[in-house]
Structure 1
């Protein structure tokens, strides 16, 4: 549940995706980028945590998806690629995207308020002791960060409504090559 760090972190992700050298290990790249100041965060501990988070996310993308992120995608699709990376990194977020956002979008219940997250977390906590052990303040922080990510990715509007994410044919093909089921995290793209 470390998605509680930052938001979508698109700029940091792009910096890392651009600077990554094919064949370089993630650990070496992380050290090199930290030394170069790849993060705009002021404190070294914050930089290290943010870079670790971004590396974890980017590590869940295929080479073709990473290339698309750093070279071919426009800003909207860069946001979509990072939403994909976050959903692949965190099972909880993936399940929220599929079981809540996709289901609500499919049934035209487009409002996505905090109570929807709270209900989903409570339902998941019944089967997962680690979720059940979250303090109310930690749960509120996770909700805050997830809703920030949803807004920054374009999945949720400022007004709190689910928005469709339109993907290019090229991006859809890239996702289908990795896992066609991942299209369900994008409202309007998967059943």
Structure 2
């Protein structure tokens, strides 16, 4: 549940992924990214926290996915970043599969903060560490997750679930690694992916 820093960080993620292609070492990447000012914040503590957060997300990707993040289209880039979020944070992955994809399939596409709160409460019954998180932190995490979903196009600006239109290149990468991960993308179907 440590995804509470900033938003999607698309440009910064691409820059950090490029550093990883050069250095092939996440520890070194974090150090160099902090020194190079990849994150345009004034406070060094904010820069360090954001670099650490982005590196944590991107470290969930394999080298082909990193390559696509660096060289792909905008749609491929945001798809890769959503995949990274779902892998790096189990809660986001489960939310994507159990709430977003299931609701999309049942044509109930509007998602509210109440839906999130009910999902969170259900998970907290089985995960005591979720129950221990303060109300203000829960609200911040909820706000950030909705922001991330809008930035990646998973949700529209009025909080309706959008059908994922994955490029064949991205869909093939996911399918090679784990076809079940396509469920992170509402309405994704490997047999009907068209060009983006």
Q: TM-score range by the shorter chain?
A: over 0.9
Tell me by how many angstroms 1:38 deviates: 1.1
1:22 offset after TM fit, Å? 4.3
- What's the TM-score, normalizing by structure 1? 0.96
What is the distance in 2 between the residues matched to 1:185 and 1:158? 19
* Structure 1 unaligned blocks of 5 or more: none
The reply to whether residue 34 of structure 1 matches residue 34 of structure 2 is yes
Calculate the TM-score normalised by the size of structure 2. 0.93
TM-fit CA distance, 1:24: 3.0
Task: Report SS of the residue matched to 1:19.
Answer: helix
Moved more, 18-27 or 138-147: 18-27
* Matched residue, 2:128: 129
1:176 maps to 175
In 2: Cα distance, 1:23 partner to 1:141 partner: 34
Match in the other structure for 1:76: 75
After TM superposition, what 4+ stretches of structure 1 lie above 4 angstroms from structure 2?
A: none
Residues 68, 76 of structure 2: 8 Å contact kept: no
1:11 aligns with 2:11: yes
Following superposition, the deviation at residue 165 of structure 1 comes to 1.4
Matching residue of 1:49:
49
Cα deviation code 1:130-178 (max 9, x no counterpart): 1111111111001000000000010011111000110111111101111
Could you tell me which runs of 5 or more consecutive residues in structure 2 were left unpaired when the two chains were aligned.
Answer: 191-196
Give the match for residue 101 of structure 1.
100
Q: Secondary structure at the residue paired with 1:87?
A: helix
Instruction: Encode CA deviations 1:51-86: one digit per residue, 9 max, x unaligned.
Output: 001101111011000001101x11122111100000
Residues 2 and 173 of structure 1, relative CA distance in 2, 3 Å threshold: same
CA distance in 2, matches of 1:42, 1:176: 41
Aligned counterparts of 1:190 and 1:97: Cα–Cα separation in 2: 15
Instruction: Provide the C-alpha distance between the structure 2 equivalents of 1:18 and 1:40, rounded to a whole number of angstroms.
Output: 17
Structure 2: distance between partners of 1:133 and 1:16: 33
CA RMSD of aligned residues (A): 1.3
| 1:20 to partner: Cα distance | 2.3
Tell me the equivalent position of 1:151: 150
Matches of 2:163 and 2:8 in 1, distance apart?
A: 18
SS at match of 1:4: coil
The number of residue pairs the alignment matches comes to: 190
Cα distance in 1 for residues equivalent to 2:119 and 2:167: 30
| Distance in 2 between residues matched to 1:160 and 1:35, nearest whole Å | 37
